[in-house]
Structure 1
Amino acid sequence: MMYKEPTRWSYTFQTFSCLSRLKAMLEPPSQRPSTPPHPVQVFERSIYSDRYVFAKNLFEVGHLQPLEWAIYQDWHSFILQHLGSRAALHGFLYLRATPQRCLERLRRRARNEEGGIQLGYLEQLHTQHEQWLLDRTTQVHFEEVKQAPVLVLDVDKDFENNVAMQDVLMAQVEAFTTGLGAKALPSHPDPC
């Protein structure tokens, strides 16, 4: 619905998305199926990427009205401030690929609800990720997020059938998460 009528459904979709990510993050690891105990937790996206990439992009392209964007930011900040360390994260995994490569993979995946996604939208999301995680030009409202380290993984090349490339990527992730674990802090890395 959001892709078909973005101005009508963006606020609803982003509210639901953020709530879903928050629930996943707060669920104790032992309740997740087949999750071995580990000091680092990895999530596909976070409550921070929800705000600083997806919702921000929808506002900037005019699909979230200024009042909706203000309300979204207000409740987002309120919830995270009250959750304190329960909502903390300590690092990001940025799976960096060109928008063209992302579109190829999206088309190959062939999810019905993603059928209307266009290259321009993926280019917008790529720019938002770059500004937030690499350039650090996005205004971030949480000090721990500003200071969180970012591991950039180049996944533009086909790694699905390349075991050697998979090994290199996994070694990078292991070194990064071990460094986070050495600080004795759980982490919620955030790939794009």
Structure 2
Amino acid sequence: MVLPKFDGVCVLKEPVDKWRNVNGHNLLQLMYQDPKRYAMPFQSNVQLTMLELHNKKTSKSIKLMERSIFSARYCFVENLYRSEVIEASEFEVLSQWFEYVVNSSDIDLEVDLVVYLRTEPEKALDRIKARGRGEENSIPLQYLQELHRLHDEWLLESKFKVPAPVVVINANQDKELMLAEYNKLESIIFNKSREKALVLKNNAKIILNEINENQVKENIKEKGKENQIKEKIKKNGKEN
């Protein structure tokens, strides 16, 4: 993930180093080597370390996290359950623990904005290979396709609870273009003009940039036409 530096922003990267060393145990490697055996303890550790990041104190006015406890549950844990890597009992334990944490009045998990760097699975796989992280050298394309679909279900279709407005960015571009995109959206991401370009979708507000605005509008338009046709068919059926 490309994380540019902005003044007054505390950037918290995914805590991979902690996953690689849980008192000497590399849970990340163990999970990829034997997911049936180690997915449950790995995801338990992921939720713990994400919770630590959510509650990390900072003197900066803005805290920017790479992923969250929400994406861990709605995308990664959900995928493990759907693909039958974890048992139903393990899924329930992780889900109940997640629900307790997010609904606790003693824990502050408030999120102001979600930035969705929407990347095609093929592009994500290319970047994983280029990154060369040893534990990830056997990740199949299908796994990334499943996660991509779940991120869309969560952030675009609101099949799971969305904790905040969402900015959708086309992240299939190279590093230079991505940095330019960040700079262009800085005023929206950092709450300087967030009321600009808001579109309501179910219970989430999706803030659109130039890349996907026309596409989403066209989809909404086509969906409206489809509903009109269905209504006409239904009406004609009643008349007959």
Residues 73 and 95, structure 2, Cα contact 8 Å, conserved in 1: yes
Q: Secondary structure at the match of 1:42?
A: strand
- Give the Cα–Cα distance (whole angstroms) in 2 for the partners of residues 108 and 157 of structure 1: 15
Contact 2:187–2:193, Cα closer than 8 Å, also in 1: no
How many residues align structurally? 166
Query: Quick check: 106-115 or 172-181, which moved more?
Result: 172-181
Residue in 2 aligned with 1:152? 168
Distance in 1 of aligned mates of 2:123 and 2:57? 34
Q: What is the alpha-carbon distance in structure 2 between the residues aligned to residue 69 and residue 84 of structure 1?
A: 24
Which protein has greater RCO, CA pairs closer than 8 Å, 6+ apart?
1
Aligned with 2:91 (options 48, 69, 86) = 69
1:86 to 104, 108, 129: 108
Structure number with the higher strand fraction is 2
Distance 1:23 1:181 in 2: 27
Q: Is the 8 A contact 2:79 2:147 kept in 1?
A: yes
Q: 1:179 to 1:60 in 2, by over 3 A?
A: farther
Contact persistence 1:90–1:180 (CA under 8 A): no
Distance 1:85 1:72, change over 3 A: closer
Q: Does 1:161 align with 2:176?
A: yes
Distance 2:152 2:31 in 1: 24
Deviations 1:8-47 (A, max 9, x none): 11111110011111111111014xxxxxx22x21100111
Q: Give the direction of change, closer, same or farther, for the CA distance of 1:179–1:11 in structure 2 (3 Å limit).
A: farther
Q: CA deviation at 1:87?
A: 1.2
Q: What TM-score do you get using the length of structure 2 for normalisation? A: 0.64
**Aligned residues of 1:57 and 1:125 also touching (Cα < 8 A):** yes
Does the 8 Å CA contact 1:2/1:9 hold for their aligned counterparts? yes
**Higher normalized helix content (fraction of residues):** 1
Q: Which residues of 2 match residues 119-138 of structure 1 at below 5 A?
A: 119-138=141-160
RMSD: 2.0
Pick aligned residue for 1:23 from 21, 46, 52: 52
Alignment partner of 1:156: what SS?
coil
Computing the radius of gyration from Cα coordinates, the structure with the larger value is 2
Specify the code of the residue in structure 2 equivalent to 1:42.
Answer: L
2 CA distance for matches of 1:42 and 1:85?
18
How far apart are the structure 2 equivalents of 1:175 and 1:66?
A: 40
